[in-house]
Structure 1
């Protein structure tokens, strides 16, 4: 069980690293004006999303389900766990929103400002804080 938990945490950390970095790339991409920079950001964003973020999210979910299978009655009766699951679903929505924004950038159809992406970049931080508190403190 500890091995599964360790690799679950590695996957979650990898996923969050991408969720923090991709919107930061969007900030720089939205501010760029030359074609070379824009094309470079497109490659970086695509590789991050498809090569790191999405596989890390899938592994995190698979290992999370495996962890839950060790004691399903406990997890299904814990309020903190239900709240965590809601936040994970919200995080998947954010992940999907990043994918939609990536497609807009790939087609040179972004209409959002770098300031928007600076604020957009802060959202997963709030989710991370809430999930860590729920898992460690288990307030309910």
Structure 2
């Protein structure tokens, strides 16, 4: 498989993963705002299904990213400061991804303690991280 195909697949799965990462906290906002039991039950289903739907995209993003690093080699990795910064941010995104799962479980167990405002704020976090990751990957400032 050529490097360009690997990059294309890496970017594709990253975009698919981010679509879910952007949408799941939005579901949390609406879930936290409702008091209707039937609506809450529907949100529980949607949240669980979405998290499990996007998790393979997160895994495949990592697989193709690691494959690319392997192809470029360790000497390239050592001198690519921008990649070290990107990988740090990506690691934070995986922590965020699993934090979202924790929140899915809290909603499923009816133990949510956060407001809709909290979910609006955490909905914006991955946008900023994505901006930084794209700048690092495209501009390679260091």
TM-score range, shorter chain: over 0.9
Q: Measure, in 2, the Cα distance between the counterparts of 1:105 and 1:76.
A: 42
Q: 1:75 is matched with which residue?
A: 77
User: Secondary structure at the residue paired with 1:33?
Assistant: coil
User: Secondary structure at the residue paired with 2:112?
Assistant: coil
- Superposition map of 1:60-71 within 5 A: 60-71=61-72
Q: Measure, in 1, the Cα distance between the counterparts of 2:97 and 2:8.
A: 23
Normalising by structure 1, we get a TM-score of 0.97
**Large movers: runs of 4+ above 6 Å:** none
Displacement after TM superposition at 1:124 (Å): 0.2
- Superposition map of 1:57-136 within 5 A: 57-72=58-73, 73-136=75-138
Q: Give ranges in structure 2 of 5+ residues lacking alignment.
A: none
Q: 2:27 is matched with which residue?
A: 25
- Alignment: residue pair count: 139
Q: 1:42 is matched with which residue?
A: 44
Q: Measure, in 2, the Cα distance between the counterparts of 1:10 and 1:47.
A: 20
Displacement after TM superposition at 1:74 (Å): 1.2
Q: 1:54 is matched with which residue?
A: 55
Deviations 1:42-94 (A, max 9, x none): 1110111012x210000000000111111122123210000000001110111
Q: Measure, in 1, the Cα distance between the counterparts of 2:133 and 2:12.
A: 15
Displacement after TM superposition at 1:96 (Å): 1.1
After superposing the two structures, state which structure 1 stretch, 25-34 or 71-80, moved more: 71-80
Residue among 5, 14, 18 paired with 1:12: 14
Q: Give ranges in structure 1 of 5+ residues lacking alignment.
A: none
Deviations 1:7-44 (A, max 9, x none): 11110001111110000000000001111110110111
Displacement after TM superposition at 1:138 (Å): 0.4
